[in-house]
Amino acid sequence: MTCLINFSDRRGLSGILLFSLLMFFKAGIAEGNGFTEELKRHALIIAVYPVENLTGRVAPLKEFGQLIKDELRKRGVDILDEDRLSSFMASHRVRYVAGIDTQTAVALGKETGVQAVLIISLELYNDIPPPKIAIRGRLVSVGRWPEILWMDSVSLTGDDSPGLFELSIVNDPLILMKKAVMRFVELLSKGLLEVSSNTGSEGIDRVKDENGAFSAQMMKKRRVIVMPFFNKSGRNYAGEIMRNHFIEQLTKKGWFSVVEPGVLREILLQFRIIMADGPSLADIRAIASVIDVDFVFSGTVFDYNDYSGPIGIPKVGFIVNVVDVSKEKMIYSSMGYRRGNYNVFLFDWGTIRTAHRLAAIMAEEVVDEFQESR
Amino acid sequence: MKWTPFSNSIRRTTFCAKERKMLYGNTVLPMKSFISTIKAIEKVVLFLLVIVFLPLPLHAAYDVYVDETMDFGSIRTVAIMPFINLTREQYAAERVRDLLMTQLLASKAVYVIPSGEVKRGIQRAGIADPTSPSPEEVVKFAGIVKVDAVITGVVREYGEVRSGQSAANVISLSLFMIEAQTGRIVWSASTSKGGIDLSDRLLGGGGRPMDDVTEEAINDLLDKLFR
């Protein structure tokens, strides 16, 4: 085939480039519209819980929450009205926003008609240039057996891609916040579509039968509970963040069905279980008497350090233990310790700039290894 | 005639003396004095080598205690008690204990009960100071959590040491294994790893990460246990 384009002609070349760019954007917009239409067609109604602050410092939580809701509405996701959610939370005295227990899930479904609740946590917010942000969200079904349907996270820093002469460094936390929210909402939209297609057009309740029991497909998966990790690092909430990393990885892999942390909290409160040094076998027996569970993850975080400003290296160190409930034995134990530059050989290429991302990689490796050992 | 290596060496020395006599007779030659000087230097070097290297095996022999009457093959399940922390690092003892637990489990030689179960056992046995339990307390505790042995330990040093411009991480710890039935110490060992070496002094740098040093120390102790 003969090439008809004369590349020596500058006008011709720029014309082709412009045309390609236009086509690219058009395709993107068309895809975006199709995406929105698809989301609207599934008509899932979700409640967005107030953002949980795990940053250990003051952060613009309301702005974050509002930005996420606005972006979701733009994409056609049906969100429960804030006033209705506030009145529901007030009437049921719901103050815990890091999870949802069974009673609240049943009441929320019945009274507001939502099918799932979005639980968001802001895990890193540092506005010192270059800023650093990490958001995590999970979608939990409402009803008698709250189940994690989707979970993902985004962590960004202003100097993730500095570009030529560092011209692409973002120093404004607001810009980075919007970027992070856009990426998060994109992941969530895809997750919502996936959830809808898995459960059918009738919605998420198809997952369970009339009595509220899990379908055979769901029961095939081995059930896991992840205890909050003990925090022996200098970072506030490092234990909760590490637990969330493991829940996310276990959920993403799809090999296990992870018990919603709100449900686990409800059981721990019910049995007045206070763990001083990890769960004992008696604690595990008590939990297993209420919910069907195969494995219990627990652990300790020793290091979870982020840095402020442009120079520094994040550091993460933890130990994770897994107990097989049926055998009443510890079947897996792993210790991980890494710095953000563990994979760097030349010119800082491959540097990981947040402890959040580093911990996510480490948790994924542990989950993969655990699955392989099964 | 049967030659042992020892008698062989005597024979060889005799032969050398004979040979020398044949070559030089009774006269003192300059070459002879040179050889005797070399011999003297050899003796000094040998003496110095003995002085330098003799204490090493002696030192190595004294940092491990093993009860010869104990059958270590019978130990299947162990509990690791909280360690005594003699360092300034707040969580040094917990870090070392958790790592030891993982390493012991990874060795697949013994099963280590979860730390939550150890805590429950301590509470039920009413042990006031779990870092140094009495033999009676060990027996009671082991009966509750059903273990064959209990491991206690002391973390003496943990963290960074400085010398001039150089800095490096160092760890020093001791472990004790107590038999569950009698409450007797059946094995004990100590180790020190890390610190500033010649390369740190010459090339600088902050030494190896603390967790690497800790892992090395624990591996050293496990080698001593399973030897």
The DSSP H or E segment spanning B64 is strand B64-66
Is the entire prediction scored with pTM above 0.90? no
- Torsion-angle region of residue A93: left (phi > 0), alpha (psi -120 to 50) or beta? left
Whether the CB of A319 is below 8 Å from some CB of chain B: the reply is yes
Could you tell me the two tokens for B118? 């150890």
The Cα–Cα gap between B52 and B48 comes to 6
Whether the CB of A327 is below 8 Å from some CB of chain B: the reply is no
Q: For testing the chain B interface, which of A337, A339, A342, A369 should be mutated: the one with the most B CBs within 10 Å?
A: A337
Whether the CB of B115 is below 8 Å from some CB of chain A: the reply is yes
Q: What is the CA radius of gyration of chain A?
A: 23
| Residues in chain B, overall count | 227
Contact A335 B99 (CB under 8 A): yes
Q: For the segment B174-204, what is each residue's pLDDT rounded down to a tens digit?
A: 999 999 999 999 999 999 998 887 777 777 6
pLDDT for B29 equals 55
pLDDT for B207 equals 72
Whether the CB of B37 is below 8 Å from some CB of chain A: the reply is no
Average pLDDT over chain A, rounded to whole? 84
| Residues in chain A, overall count | 374
Assign B208 a pLDDT band (cuts: 50, 70, 90): confident
Q: List the alpha helices (DSSP H) in B67-206.
A: 92-107, 115-125, 135-145, 198-203
Nearest-Cα residue of chain B relative to residue A233: B91
Is pLDDT above 70 for A16? Answer: no
Quote the crossing angle between the two packed helices A102-112 and A82-91, to the nearest 10°. Answer: 130
Contact B99 A276 (CB under 8 A): no
* Lowest mean pLDDT across A74-88, B5-19, B47-61: B5-19
Q: For the segment A306-316, what is each residue's pLDDT rounded down to a tens digit?
A: 998 888 999 99
**8 A C-beta contact, residue A308 and residue A128:** yes
Could you tell me the two tokens for B177? 């294994």
Amino acid at B204: G
Task: Tell the residue number behind the tokens 């076998």, with chain if given.
Answer: A281
The Cα–Cα gap between B69 and B179 comes to 12
The whole-number average pLDDT for the span A5-22 is 50
Q: Which of B105, B116, B117 sits opposite A333 (nearest CB)?
A: B105
The DSSP H or E segment spanning B155 is strand B149-163
Whether the CB of B102 is below 8 Å from some CB of chain A: the reply is yes
- ipTM metric: 0.75
Is pLDDT above 60 for A226? Answer: yes
Q: For the segment A108-140, what is each residue's pLDDT rounded down to a tens digit?
A: 999 999 999 999 999 999 999 899 999 999 999
CA dihedral B152, A366, A331, B155 (to 10 degrees): 0
The whole-number average pLDDT for the span B87-98 is 92
The Cα–Cα gap between B212 and B99 comes to 11
Contact B120 A279 (CB under 8 A): no
The Cα–Cα gap between A126 and A132 comes to 5
Residue B115: its chain A contacts at CB < 8 A?
277-278, 321
For residue A89, what are the contacts with CB-CB under 8 A and spacing of at least 6? A95
* DSSP symbol at B109: S
Q: For testing the chain B interface, which of A303, A320, A329, A335 should be mutated: the one with the most B CBs within 10 Å?
A: A335
Assign B6 a pLDDT band (cuts: 50, 70, 90): very low
Whether the CB of B114 is below 8 Å from some CB of chain A: the reply is yes
Contact A329 B111 (CB under 8 A): yes
More reliable by pLDDT, B15 or A191: A191
Residue B83: its chain A contacts at CB < 8 A?
none
Q: Which of B91, B112, B116 sits opposite A232 (nearest CB)?
A: B91
The whole-number average pLDDT for the span A229-246 is 94
Per residue, what are the HEC states of B175-223? EEEEECCCCCEEEEEEEEEECCCHHHHHHCCCCCCHHHHHHHHHHHHHH
Whether the CB of B108 is below 8 Å from some CB of chain A: the reply is no
What are the DSSP calls for A68-127, one per residue? Answer: HHHHHHHTT-EE--HHHHHHHHHHTT----S---HHHHHHHHHHH--SEEEEEEEEEEE-
Closest Cα partner for A275 from B125, B85, B117?
B117
More reliable by pLDDT, B208 or B106: B106
Nearest-Cα residue of chain B relative to residue A230: B94
Nearest CA to CA, how far is A192 from chain B (Å)? Answer: 38
Assign A143 a pLDDT band (cuts: 50, 70, 90): confident
Could you tell me the two tokens for B144? 């509750």
Q: For testing the chain B interface, which of A277, A281, A304 should be mutated: the one with the most B CBs within 10 Å?
A: A277
Strand A78-79 versus strand A45-48 pairing type: parallel
Closest Cα partner for A251 from A225, A287, A278, A277?
A225
Bridge partners of B166? Answer: B163
Residue A321: its chain B contacts at CB < 8 A?
101, 114-115
Is pLDDT above 70 for B95? Answer: yes
CA dihedral B188, B193, B198, B200 (to 10 degrees): -170
Q: Which of B91, B102, B112 sits opposite A334 (nearest CB)?
A: B102
Contact B211 A282 (CB under 8 A): no
For residue B199, what are the contacts with CB-CB under 8 A and spacing of at least 6? B205
Work out how many CB contacts closer than 8 A connect A with B: 63
pLDDT for A374 equals 75
pLDDT for A35 equals 54
Whether the CB of B91 is below 8 Å from some CB of chain A: the reply is yes
The Cα–Cα gap between B200 and B198 comes to 5
More reliable by pLDDT, A7 or B23: B23
Residue A339: its chain B contacts at CB < 8 A?
209
pLDDT for A349 equals 80
More reliable by pLDDT, A347 or B11: A347
Could you tell me the two tokens for B92? 């040094």
pLDDT for A275 equals 83
Nearest CA to CA, how far is A279 from chain B (Å)? Answer: 5
Q: For testing the chain A interface, which of B80, B117, B131, B211 should be mutated: the one with the most A CBs within 10 Å?
A: B117
Contact A300 B94 (CB under 8 A): yes
